[in-house]
Structure 1
Amino acid sequence: MSTAIAERDAVASPADSGAEDAIQSYLVTFIIRRFDPETDSEPRWVDYDVELYPTDRVLDALHKIKWEVDGSLSFRRSCAHGICGSDAMRINGRNRLACKTLIKDLDISQPIYVEAIKGLPLEKDLIVDMEPFFASYREVQPFLIANSKPEPGKERIQSPAERAIFDDTTKCILCAACTTSCPVFWTDGQYFGPAAIVNAHRFIFDSRDDAGDVRLDILNDKEGVWRCRTTFNCTEACPRGIEVTKAIAEVKQAILRH
């Protein structure tokens, strides 16, 4: 071995050893509520021990369980970056996105409980039927309705101040975390739910839209905004930080002025 190589190894080895010591993994217990409609009459809790790093996410743990321990575990995920909203689930009793929940932010001295979001029909393990959720979303007509052509040119002009009125509710990713955290939604299958109201808000207050009155009439129904009990569960659950309860209150005020 040359002198240069020996000197390089002598310098590199302590650094490498220190880097390895700095990255510590932990054995974390996950207790997951499993349900297979082909074999189970009721959901059951199953525990798994997974070796993880503090910077891993709950989604990483679920991947590790599925890929290395039990391939039958079923859950939804897509982008894994908090944009698609596919992996909303209850983690330690709170609605969260698995891809945005870091292991270091949970108390790993205790088991981590994971189950499907509530209030929607359970299909398998952590997967629920989202159709009732999207049916409510479609019912509020969540798209721009304009009765006139833009003048001049092809753009519909809007000031920054006009945009700011509804900017917060444009952030919704339809993950259903807010709606399925709502106690009213759990007990009343007809309630539109926070997410539908948020998406109605986005167009009700859009200066370019001409169908705000129509949406206000829809939400003035007995299963509309008046079913909200202002518990703030929805605001707390939103992974995008939308002030959901505030948006619902603004829609209520708009109905009263309507």
Structure 2
Amino acid sequence: MMRGDKVFFHILRFNPDTDKKPFFQKFEIPFIRKDLTVLEGLNYIQQRLDNSLAFRSSCREAICGSCAMHINGKYRLACNTLVSKLKSNTITIRPLAHMHIHKDLFVDMKPFWEKYEHIKPYLMPGKPLPATGEQIQRPEERVKIDTLADCILCSCCHSSCPITASHEKYLGPMAFLTADRFVSDNRDGAKEERLAIINGEHGVWRCHTVFNCQEVCPRDLNPSGSIAHLKMAIVKNKI
């Protein structure tokens, strides 16, 4: 694709207040730079072609995770997805799956956050803190959770998972990765409580090991590995 070419965005549009069903709308924008991102394309459309287009974005640095969406067949972050890398001048965009659409690419994240809250994503020491109020963690202990703590809560894994599509209460890969982050943290004293939470009917045993979550993670994390680790921890601790 060369500078000066046109790019066509096919965007799923839906306003529950006025539309009977979703539909795709086509927009044409100039390919002005070789480093043009999908998010920049969406901003161009919103600012110059149709200011009613709704989508989320914030940091533009692949850190906040808010611009996750389905782009040309895969869940990605719009802010770090280069149009030139998609190898097509047609970009098809859908919102995150398994969530109610508020409008266009803007979805209701409340169920996702409820699952995050359910696994208690904070340290629970289980014993009095030192007089300094600080729990020291050695480098060799910290390295065990380095990648686990890198989740940006974008929901790509949640939306790509076939089990979250069919089981509304299934906690999902994001929740399990986060649970593993605290189970693996030597400063946390609630290991048994955490394992009990993810050992229920809607916990890790419902995972079908499809690996979609690992495939789409923009941070190259390993939710499938965390699920396997949690299963082993449950068996080892006889939860």
TM-score by length of 2: 0.95
Q: Name 2:78's counterpart in structure 1.
A: 98
Is the contact between residue 25 and residue 54 of structure 1 (CA under 8 Å) also seen in structure 2? no
Q: For residues 85-105 of structure 1, give each alpha carbon's deviation from its aligned partner in whole angstroms, at most 9, with x where no partner exists.
A: 111000012100000101111
One-letter amino acid of the counterpart of residue 94, structure 1: K
One-letter amino acid of the counterpart of residue 78, structure 2: A
Q: CA separation in 1, counterparts of 2:100 and 2:183?
A: 30
Q: CA separation in 1, counterparts of 2:56 and 2:4?
A: 26
- One of 100, 121, 142 as aligned partner of 1:121: 100
- One of 210, 219, 244 as aligned partner of 2:198: 219
Q: CA separation in 2, counterparts of 1:24 and 1:147?
A: 59
Q: For residues 8-39 of structure 1, give each alpha carbon's deviation from its aligned partner in whole angstroms, at most 9, with x where no partner exists.
A: xxxxxxxxxxxxxxx82320111000001111
Q: Name 1:68's counterpart in structure 2.
A: 48
Following superposition of structure 1 onto structure 2, how do residues 175-194 of structure 1 map, counting pairs within 5 Å? 175-194=154-173
Identity fraction in percent: 41
Q: Name 2:19's counterpart in structure 1.
A: 40
Question: How many residues were matched structurally?
Answer: 235
Q: Name 1:11's counterpart in structure 2.
A: none
Following superposition of structure 1 onto structure 2, how do residues 106-185 of structure 1 map, counting pairs within 5 Å? 106-109=86-89, 111-151=90-130, 153-185=132-164
Q: Name 2:232's counterpart in structure 1.
A: 253
* 3-state SS of paired residue (2:113): helix
Q: Name 1:13's counterpart in structure 2.
A: none
Question: Aligned-pair distance for 1:256?
Answer: 0.9
Gaps of 5+ in 2: none
- One of 218, 222, 228 as aligned partner of 1:239: 218
* 3-state SS of paired residue (1:215): helix
Q: For residues 90-137 of structure 1, give each alpha carbon's deviation from its aligned partner in whole angstroms, at most 9, with x where no partner exists.
A: 00121000001011111224x210010111111110011000000000
Q: CA separation in 1, counterparts of 2:48 and 2:204?
A: 45
Question: Aligned-pair distance for 1:157?
Answer: 1.7
- One of 182, 187, 193 as aligned partner of 1:203: 182
Is the contact between residue 181 and residue 233 of structure 1 (CA under 8 Å) also seen in structure 2? yes
Is the contact between residue 32 and residue 46 of structure 1 (CA under 8 Å) also seen in structure 2? yes
One-letter amino acid of the counterpart of residue 219, structure 2: R
Is the contact between residue 136 and residue 192 of structure 1 (CA under 8 Å) also seen in structure 2? yes
Q: CA separation in 1, counterparts of 2:37 and 2:234?
A: 42
Gaps of 5+ in 1: 1-22
More helix per residue:
1
TM-score by length of 1: 0.88
Q: CA separation in 2, counterparts of 1:133 and 1:223?
A: 14
The answer to which of 88-97 and 235-244 deviates more is: 235-244
Q: CA RMSD in A?
A: 1.2
Q: CA separation in 2, counterparts of 1:230 and 1:54?
A: 37
Question: Aligned-pair distance for 1:152?
Answer: 5.7
Q: Name 1:230's counterpart in structure 2.
A: 209
One-letter amino acid of the counterpart of residue 231, structure 1: V
